[in-house]
Amino acid sequence: MIPANLIAKKRDGKNLSKDEISWFITNYVSGEISEEQMASLLMAILFQGMNEIETFTLVEVMIDSGSKLDFSNSNYYVADKHSTGGIGDKVSLILAPLMAAAGLQIPMIAGRGLSFTGGTIDKLESIPGFNTSPSLETFNSWVDLNNCAIISQSDQICPADKKLYALRDQTGTVPSNPLICGSIMSKKIASGISGLVLDLKVGNGAFLKNYESAKKLGVWMKKIGEAFGLTTDILFTSMDQPLGRSAGLSCEVLESMDALRGDGSEDLMDITYQLGSKLLIQSNITTDIKESENLQRSLINDGKAFEKFEAMVKVQGGTLEKLETTSHPSNEVSILSNADGVITRMDTEKIGWALVELGCGRKSPKSSLDNTAGIQFLKKIGDEVHENEPIYHLFNSNPKLLNSAKRMLKKTFEIKDSLKKDFRLVLGEF
């Protein structure tokens, strides 16, 4: 087969066969096909899409490119959660230990920041010593010991996706339904879980800008889950404003710790509880939403969820005491309101790019991260503000980047006399 011919075939809107897809990706992973050729195919897929057979083949090739975990002998219901990415989305840091405390096993394989959205692994690695890259044998032992562990994608599980994931981030090919499905579902299926809950983010701060496109992706996710024997529930949540009180790296870990101690923001805990309820009902630990939410609140109130988080961090080599001392930024500044009124809109994607500018994300594969960087959201949609009152508080360890991000953030919110339409956090489910 000739790579250029297959690229042209997809460019022209024709379907690739199973053998062609398998051959192209296998040879890309082995180095026989260049990044430029793979990037061209990804761009063709972005514009022309893939049909059901092509998408299922993509998932299967991703899975077969590496090892698979096996939890079939577990005495627990083994499940996971995944989000399509947003600003301030720290739910995984809370939900994994919370579900472990409830009696599930959560072997979570999470991602790094992608484009303008934050990554769970980058946040966890702001904890000094936290190991996100163990062997699969060690990962299994962590899950057996504590019922939860969170690691980055290894070279052993779906190595094809690991390589493609980084390339998509650098080539503007992230928002493609087949590529999103292939990336997310291959990792989850290969991790040996029985159940999955997906948080599909919708809005100006998400890859999915509207509910209709999100539903189309949800249909594909559900279809793939069923085809591979994975129970899959889906929640659609708004990313028209950041989630929680902060976005960044170590600041999100600290906020997650506060949430696990009982001091979580209403929007953050609402999504956490709804996603957790899906998994608790899947596992037959609870039978309805009310019982599920009550159980989760009790596990937070009695400290068991936070104990699981502490145990997970310790098992994975992290030191929370050091986080408290390494998370202090050397530069801080506030963004002030320029009028009296009500916050009616936030440009969440632009906030995400400002976070990248601050040092929370990568502009290139070799970019280093600033674990002290982030933004605190003092006002959000529906909140009343007065002129010269702080809207955001931003911080990092590089004054030049801080000033650049400040300029970007000044036009990321609108203030009007009143809010004409209530902000909806949860948009739907199936």
Model confidence over 177-191: pLDDT tens digits? 899 888 889 989 999
Query: Which residue is catalytic, options 168, 188, 201, 245?
Result: 168
For residues 49 and 364, the model is more confident at 49
183 is catalytic: yes
422 is catalytic: no
**Res 362: pLDDT:** 84
Query: Which residue is catalytic, options 80, 89, 122, 161?
Result: 161
Mean pLDDT of 198-227: 92
pLDDT over 70, % of the chain: 100
pLDDT over 90, % of the chain: 80
- Residue 231's identity, in one-letter code, is T
Query: Which residue is catalytic, options 81, 90, 163, 187?
Result: 187
82 is catalytic: yes
Whether the per-residue pLDDT at 170 is higher than 90: the answer is no
User: For 49-58, 72-81, 147-156, 336-345, which range has the lowest pLDDT when averaged over its residues?
Assistant: 147-156
Going by pLDDT thresholds of 50, 70 and 90, the confidence category of residue 232 is very high
Whether the per-residue pLDDT at 175 is higher than 80: the answer is no
Q: Tens of pLDDT along 128-140?
A: 999 999 999 999 9
Whether the per-residue pLDDT at 426 is higher than 90: the answer is yes
297 is catalytic: no
Whether the per-residue pLDDT at 156 is higher than 90: the answer is no
Going by pLDDT thresholds of 50, 70 and 90, the confidence category of residue 201 is very high
Whether the per-residue pLDDT at 364 is higher than 80: the answer is no
Token representation of residue 36: 């430029």
161 is catalytic: yes
**Res 159: pLDDT:** 86
Domains and their CATH numbers in the chain: 3-49 (1.20.970.10), 77-323 (3.40.1030.10), 327-416 (3.90.1170.30)
Q: Tens of pLDDT along 264-308?
A: 999 999 999 999 999 999 999 999 999 999 999 999 999 999 999
Mean pLDDT of 248-259: 97
Query: Which residue is catalytic, options 81, 82, 163, 350?
Result: 82
Query: Which residue is catalytic, options 40, 152, 176, 183?
Result: 183
Whether the per-residue pLDDT at 343 is higher than 90: the answer is yes
